[in-house]
Amino acid sequence: MALKRVALEIGMGTDIRGGDYTKAAVRALRDAGASSITAYIIIGHPDSQQQDLEASIRFAAEQGARVMLSEFAPIPGTPDGEACRAYSSLDEPLNHNKTAFTWRFLGTERVDALKALCREVNRCALPSAKR
């Protein structure tokens, strides 16, 4: 059988407490033959303060997915980009950079801690778990 890889995006709309939709999606992907599932979690989005990023990372790993972080890049003129003006001047082109904005928005310590957690859950995943 050919290797099948699938990416999931676990973001602000995911119900991390029940997780019914995400669990069902992972189950359906596995049933369809996906041998590798990667969950992308967006960090640095202006609404992400309402999301428990650590819980999202752990939840995705518990589903047997490899967890990757995706840094939000504010694009001026878009609703999400304009929401970022409350945190950073988008008149400065450097502030459109996903890494620069995420560091300014969350702080380098928080970003580094999220990346370390991601490495930990990916490293600690059971070798027998399907990914």
pLDDT digits (tens, 9 = 90+) for 90-116: 888 888 888 888 888 889 999 999 999
Cα–Cα distance, 123 to 121 (Å, whole number) = 5
- Of the chain, the percentage scoring pLDDT greater than 90 comes to 30
DSSP letter for 88, please. Answer: S
pLDDT surpassing 60 at residue 1? no
The letter for the amino acid at 10 is I
Q: What is the reported pLDDT for 5?
A: 54
The letter for the amino acid at 107 is G
Q: How confident is the model at residue 36 (pLDDT cuts 50, 70, 90)?
A: confident
The whole-number average pLDDT for the span 37-45 is: 90
- Domains of the chain with bracketed CATH: 5-124 (3.30.750.200)
The whole-number average pLDDT for the span 23-33 is: 85
Query: How are strands ordered across the β-sheet holding 36-43?
Result: 5-10, 36-43, 66-71
Q: What is the reported pLDDT for 112?
A: 95
Q: What is the reported pLDDT for 131?
A: 42
Q: Are 61 and 31 in contact (CB under 8 A)?
A: no
